Structure 1
């Protein structure tokens, strides 16, 4: 197979996403006939048919879907090379890209990274952090489009190398007039008697709670579903229901928000987070420094 051309791969990915050469051309600022010629050359290079032509556009074949996965990883890697080289041109001597779940970003990770960057030896390192759902984070690591991630250690981390990070504990957040507000703690089962404020179905917290409710054999009654912890607290304050969120997110501000924090006594409510990577030996020196620092910071 001859060398693959990144421009052709970028056009190929655009056509896969839009299912239409004309729309892909508008997106990539190139005429559809030029895209068609590029894709014909790409099919000749790989030796297989990549698209099925249909009346209203095109769809990738099974081989095209496989190539699309590789193309996305290659394009992401090329973009990282471009960013890294640009950073060296401006004097930055290392760059680390880190994916982290919503809980990590809402708790201690921003402060830990800030303190890492304040160390004199790290002044030439740039850390970029992207918030991600656990499943998307794991997929990005497997595809090689990101070198590092931090997520709940109950995620599908098979095949990854991991280091321990921090932990948190889930709690029921309730309005001061809620029936549970006077209790020092409660079980998750007790909360199922009341309306909940939920997070989207793709989040780790939602998945954990749905699994626990299924084991108990009682349904969860969601009155509101919101996209963030902040929004769930506003709904609790409005007396729309209770929310199950990490105590560490709420405790610094609960007094000012006007809610009560009721710890859950269930064993699974104690969560641990892990720093995960495909191969620690392949990490850049800057990334290894960050991993070591975060592990030590959490242990301390």
Structure 2
């Protein structure tokens, strides 16, 4: 036992020396919180080592004793021994220390660097929102360009042309292939903004589908085909959509861009994940403004 105690003392000294070597510079100065931390480290290391030595010694030398309980599991019974006194005192002491720490040692309403950082961040965000509450179109476009280069360009390319078909070409609203795909398969991926979705259309003749697709992809130029009336019921005769019914299929308006950012999108060339929560409303409008400028 004597050799175990000596070994334990040596271990405690070694652990404390290692702790001080790793973080000793934090304990210099007048910050009593760091001193409390070091004191806690000393207490934890000392208690842990000696408790471990105590039970190692018991396992080597003690024998089970006491009154057996009546209950048995697979022939194995338990003794009705009380919990170790030291364990019980340590448990109660930990609870008392917790209350002391939160009320006196480190009050929860005391100064906190994290709390200060959060307050300053909220204050800055409030100033930012007020400053850009009503930005001009030119300001939105400039802000949107920087957002686009960070958030969108990795997939759509810095020019917005979709990196050779890997993503949507944002320099034009829709391609003929996309329109044909939506007519035949429907689209229900903007549920929060357009809850009705779009089922596969009533257009079944390939000639009518191609006529409508070419008309929309060409920017609604030329003579409007009669079969477009099926689309106009939701998207409007001018293709500018209806709130909560159908999106704008003529241009990237604010409502459409914000809906795609919130819900993501799935089309004929793949899926775009949701960007919900990444941008505030002003940033989303700025991104929409810049995307519209790509086709100008």
TM-score by length of 2: 0.19
The structure in which a higher percent of residues are strand is 1
Larger Cα Rg: Structure 1 or Structure 2?
A: 2
Greater helix percent: which structure? 2
State the TM-score, normalizing by the size of structure 1.
0.18
Q: Which has the higher contact order (CA 8 A, sep 6+)?
A: 1
